[in-house]
């Protein structure tokens, strides 16, 4: 029974049924969207400052104390820009694409548990819903690339489709490992089951999910569709003003959403001692985002064919093996001794990574033309 459902029941005692049904939904939507957008602004500021510090410079620090109002200034600047639509572009698709990218990302937050019961809707297929809804934004990016009538944008869109389709598979398979251990697809049950965070029980699954998530949110080293040194700004080359802001927000929202999912699936969600649960979730989300920014500040990006072979030859087989091993462990290992599983899984993950480093080759290279 979530808090919103309790609120609904309480309202139903005095209001007509339809009002008692609609009001909690609106309240919940407002809260979730407010959370997502506020956190996105914080994340934009956090990333820019953090990248600055990684690169021994200061980052934005002019507006407000330590530059905390910089994201707002940036947002105002972007909103005031002229909205340009390419003359030979597909105007309807060009207009629709930012929405199709942004809305599904916001919808992910519907199943993120912030607290015991503090979840917008406790779907019994929560994690499947996340995977399904998050890949819809790929359609939006393809629309943007096609409608811009720009070759850079089109290359970027095609890369995006290939990348998202490839990385969905290892991501889903690594989630399945978690689901096997919990025995439920519901997000709140996954959190409730984590007396030990699943990062310890499933190190390999965590690594695969993390890499896949980074690839799905198009961050370095998998940021091929915005590879600025190759294809300028990728799919949003021809976007400006509010539409560009939607893509920009969508990208950070995606990062925030996946940070929330990683924190929920593998780091124990809102569980933690002393501090209030909501704060624990925030700490974990920021920690995950910190690692993402750290990777972005350090690593060069892969080439498109290497990206594909990394997904198909490396992550996918490892995810399948991981799934079988977890299934075997859930069947045969006694549930009373989870620490045995931690040791076994860490040893197994290390061995598998070493083995794959030896076996695995990144394909591609020169093509005869």
**Sites of contact with other proteins (CB under 8 A):** 51-58, 61, 151-152, 155, 220-221, 223, 227-232, 294-306, 353-354, 356-358, 360-362, 364-369
For other proteins, which is the closer residue by CB, 123 or 353?
A: 353
> In the block, which residue shows the tokens 């859930």?
330
Question: What token pair was written down for 69?
Answer: 């109002």
Q: Which C-beta is closer to other proteins: that of 26 or that of 369?
A: 369
Minimum separation from the CB atom of position 158 to other proteins (A): 8
Q: Which residues of 322-347 are buried (b: 16+ CB within 10 A; e: fewer)?
A: bbebbeebeeeeeeeeeeebbeebee
In the complex, minimum distance from the CB of residue 240 to other proteins, in angstroms, rounded to a whole number:
16
CB of 262 to other proteins, least distance (A): 18
First to last CA, the chain: 62
Minimum CB distance to other proteins, residue 353 (Å): 7
Which residue, 276 or 363, is less far from other proteins as judged by CB? 363
Q: Say if CB 182 and CB 191 are below 8 A apart.
A: no
Query: Given its phi and psi angles, is residue 67 left (phi above 0), alpha (psi -120 to 50 degrees) or beta?
Result: left
Q: Which is nearer to other proteins, 94 or 159 (CB)?
A: 159
For residue 43, give every residue at least 6 positions away whose Cβ sits within 8 Å of its Cβ, in sequence order, or none: 252, 255, 256, 289
Alpha-carbon gap, residue 40 to 37, rounded angstroms: 5
Give Cα 369 distance to the centre of its chain: 38
User: Could you tell me the smallest distance in angstroms from the CB atom of residue 47 to other proteins?
Assistant: 11
Q: How far apart are CA 171 and CA 322, in angstroms?
A: 12
* DSSP, res 366: -
> Least CB distance from residue 362 to other proteins, whole Å?
5
The nearer residue to other proteins, 172 or 349, going by C-beta atoms, is 349
- C-beta closer to other proteins: residue 118 or 233: 233
Q: What are the structure tokens assigned to 124, written together?
A: 């019994």
């Amino acid at each position: 029974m979530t808090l919103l459902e309790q609120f609904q029941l309480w309202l139903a005692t005095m209001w007509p049924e339809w009002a008692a049904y609609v009001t909690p939904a609106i309240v919940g939507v407002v809260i979730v969207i407010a959370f997502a957008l506020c956190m996105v602004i914080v994340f934009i500021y956090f990333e820019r400052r953090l990248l600055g510090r990684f690169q021994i410079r200061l980052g934005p620090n002019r507006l407000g104390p330590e530059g905390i109002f910089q994201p707002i200034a940036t947002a105002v600047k972007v909103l005031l820009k002229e909205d340009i639509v390419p003359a030979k572009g597909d105007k309807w698709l060009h207009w629709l694409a930012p929405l199709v990218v942004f809305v599904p990302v916001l919808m992910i937050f519907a199943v993120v548990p912030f607290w015991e019961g503090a979840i917008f809707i406790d779907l019994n297929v929560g994690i499947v819903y996340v995977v399904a809804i998050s890949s819809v934004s790929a359609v939006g990016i393809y629309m943007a690339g096609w409608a811009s009538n720009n070759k850079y944008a089109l290359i970027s869109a095609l890369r995006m489709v290939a990348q998202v389709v490839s990385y969905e598979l290892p991501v889903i398979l690594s989630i399945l490992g978690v689901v096997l251990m919990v025995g439920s697809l519901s997000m709140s049950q996954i959190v409730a089951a984590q007396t030990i965070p699943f990062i310890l029980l499933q190190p390999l699954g965590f690594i695969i999910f993390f890499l896949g998530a980074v690839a799905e949110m198009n961050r370095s080293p998998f940021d091929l569709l915005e590879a600025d040194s190759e294809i300028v700004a990728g799919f949003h080359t021809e976007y400006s003003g509010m539409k560009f802001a939607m893509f920009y927000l969508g990208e950070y929202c995606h990062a925030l959403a996946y940070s929330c999912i990683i924190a929920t699936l593998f780091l124990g969600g809102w569980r933690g001692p002393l501090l209030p649960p909501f704060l624990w979730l925030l700490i974990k989300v920021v920690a995950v985002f910190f690692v993402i920014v750290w990777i972005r500040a350090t690593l060069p990006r892969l080439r498109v064919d290497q990206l594909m072979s990394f997904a198909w030859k490396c992550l996918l087989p490892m995810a399948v093996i991981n799934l079988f091993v977890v299934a075997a462990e859930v069947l045969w290992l006694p549930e009373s001794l989870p620490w045995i599983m931690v040791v076994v899984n860490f040893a197994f993950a290390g061995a598998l990574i070493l083995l794959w480093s030896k076996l695995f080759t990144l394909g591609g290279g020169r093509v005869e033309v």
